[in-house]
Amino acid sequence: MATAFIGLDFIKDIVHPEGKISHTSAPAAERGVIEKVNRALSTGRKKGWFTVLVKVGFAKGYTDQPKHSPFFGRLHEIGALEAESSGMEFHPELKAELADLVIVKPRISAFYGTQLDAALRARKIDRLIVAGVSTAWAVQSTVRDAHDRDYEVYVLEDACAAATEPVHQSSMELLGSIARVIRVTDLVEIS
């Protein structure tokens, strides 16, 4: 099987304490998520996996922002997730240089409006290992989308975080029905 690691939304606006919508920054720090994602990226590089980092954001001037969305509609008012802003940069401790590809997504799922599926299919990838923030949003949405596209999906539980631990655990319980929930230490067993 050909494998890809996909890391979701490890950007300053979301996962750094100074981020403009950083609801997951404290839980991510408590769980050591950035260090675990770095381990997953390093493992992926050593094993020859395709490594992808995905970040959510909108074009400069918010021309593609869905203003009617309860989730995204007011971000322009606080200057969050705008292309070329410092908030769109990866967390400073993330080893983003280990990614083979960086994708910007305009919605919650990494597949929506991006070249992700085409890039995976071009490399004949059939297994995805997904980590990210927030577990309840980007991870769930991407994993569900990947499942419905017939990928074999693994969720790297300890490299994910949500705004609260109960929300994270609930998400993992739901995703366990369509994906294998694993930990960073389990990556050594995956070829």
For 6-34, write each residue's pLDDT tens digit: 999 999 999 999 999 999 999 999 999 99
Cα→Cα distances 68→74, 104, 110, 134, Å: 9, 21, 20, 21
pLDDT digits (tens, 9 = 90+) for 55-100: 999 999 999 999 999 999 999 999 999 999 999 999 999 999 999 9
Set out the domains of the chain in order of their start, with CATH numbers.
3-189 (3.40.50.850)
Confidence band for 128, pLDDT divided at 50, 70 and 90: very high
Mean confidence (pLDDT) of the chain? 97
**182: helix, coil or strand?**
strand
- Phi, psi at residue 156, to the nearest 5°? -85, 85
Quick check: pTM over 0.95?
yes
Q: Are 54 and 7 in contact (CB under 8 A)?
A: yes
